[in-house]
């Protein structure tokens, strides 16, 4: 499974676990904080991906970068995976 599919699948799993309703189909343009996932759900997604992928790009940054859209979020993981 490629990273993009993996992240989207994990997002849906976490949303269910976090009791968050994802209203729209997920696309690269989905705005994370408007997707139905709240800040707790988003934190759970990053924690779940850390368990599954063995990395948390947000904790490794020297200067914090925060993604607005799902596409930006996936890109950060792709970059981190490519550089590690």
Indicate if the alpha-carbon torsion angle 62, 50, 4, 70 is positive or negative. negative
Single out the segment in contact with another protein by CB under 8 A; choices: 1-9, 10-18, 22-30, 75-83. Answer: 10-18
CA-based nearest residue to 45, from 68, 73, 71? 73
Report the alpha-carbon angle 8-14-57, nearest 5: 65
CB of 33 to another protein, least distance (A): 6
Residues in region 19-78 near another protein by CB under 8 A: 19, 32-34, 38-40, 42-44, 46-48, 56, 58-59, 61-68
Residues that bind another protein (CB under 8 A): 16-19, 32-34, 38-40, 42-44, 46-48, 56, 58-59, 61-68
């Amino acid at each position: 499974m490629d990273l993009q599919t993996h992240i989207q699948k994990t997002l849906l799993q976490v949303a269910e676990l976090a009791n968050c309703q994802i209203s729209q189909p997920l696309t690269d343009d989905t705005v994370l904080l408007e997707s139905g996932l709240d800040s707790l759900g988003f934190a759970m997604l990053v924690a779940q991906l850390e368990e599954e992928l063995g990395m948390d790009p947000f904790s490794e940054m020297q200067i914090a970068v925060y993604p607005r859209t799902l596409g930006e979020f996936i890109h950060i993981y792709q970059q981190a995976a490519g550089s590690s």
